Chain A
């Protein structure tokens, strides 16, 4: 393992401090916790939005704390969901009297820990609701599994539900906005290399030079299928068509897309994928209204990328373009 760290045990704690050093105008760290909250919280009346999960997905989730997105982000150990007491600290930091929406990715640990945190909040009279994100179409959703995972599409939920909260919608309405994003978003990713979790010290899986993993999650866990290496055009097309099918997108529909690096894939390669995405959208008659390209939901230093498509309606389009001012995503708004 070759990483710029001091000790495995202090990785997350130090990284959270570093975020505050870099973005003091956006972030404060809630003392004695792994919670990053807004440096300038909204006045009473706004629904709070809290997200979180394991560390290692930077800029998720602390990078999305700020105007128009999250009120607080809760960090767990690397790829490990945060504990209930930490999530509850995040809820308290985000509560301005109008209740708190929790944006949770559908992983068993995240679901359970956020669930216990809700019980704690309930006991103290803080109202909470949950939006469960399950955008990863690589996973079969059946009665016999825990359902699909939540991956990069979560960022669209933060953005659009965040905009709705800034507009002053109440808790149930902000939840409904978030649920509607979930119902209209789909993602799929691939990996060219594994990453190395610091606590484990070695790559989670090995891939040959001519192999790639399709359908990975965001925790360095193996994908659903190991396939021969393919070029940018083929992999983009494969992801795109899978997502179009999943969302039943038809010609003329407006969409947004996210081309997301898993951590080690550079902008150059993302831009090539994005060029193919543009052509594929045109070929399919889809109106690509907005593309987010870069690092949004990573897996440490894993090479690879994910593609997310979001079906837009007028409100989602408006909220996607509304002003956001956070360390990792700034949208001027118009």
Chain B
């Protein structure tokens, strides 16, 4: 089974009961898989007329308390950003979004890239907000992280993004779906399912709190313009909301970083790469090690929260840092912030659907370690 389909299987095992999306290569197989597997699992599958509708359908499902997912790629992900921002920063509801990265900018091409790193980790929508972002490198890890994504999205009431790419998406390899994650059930007291037996809930506006006593911002500009608004635009209410959001993000940064390291203890050179590029350059690192070169790997698994602490610590010990990315250099900004000038940070990037090859990255490694000169073909 390929990665697109494995992710949907893992989602269903994790209790996903709503899937919507718009066909977008190379994410479309997620829709195909969901179209028959969701109904069989007692869930709802619905093809949306556009990504904008898909993300808002997802918002409706999420606010009604259901675990839900959509899958898309680059430009489709861009169309979803307003909805993602609203779900993360205003409604604060959980959902899982798969972005199978293909070539950008614009409609780009269909080949693998990692150039939506920034859109996923910074957000392309308005305002201050964050989403959990996972960067799987194998089908097995994609399945495992999908399950984790649902659990953490619920725990923190926030969208989680699985950042796959065309190469991983179409990789077919054996994986073990395993058991459902042991989870403490999260009580969704905020789910709008009808107020029978309790007070009404209003979800999707910023306020001091949710529930019957909620105080909401008044946006009636006409009343404001003609001077009739009463306690209308209350900045304190929104500030309190944003401060609570910031506190939540600090908690996530403190508790949810996941990262894999390889040969880092005695490394002189730390290579930082995620997802497919990390997988593809592993042989270069193994080969360098077999030649006695002290090279290590840092592979961020969560792209937000980013393993800044670990990279900062490593920067105290290594002589150089090399970032390998299938983009003009997006994650390298996070690495530079973490390294904070302690050591030089080099970038090896591939563009337009070209993937990093062990031979070329191996040459780059030897060059940085001073074993070959820049123009040597060795």
Chains A and B form a bound pair: no
Binding site for B on A (CB under 8 A): none
Binding site for A on B (CB under 8 A): none
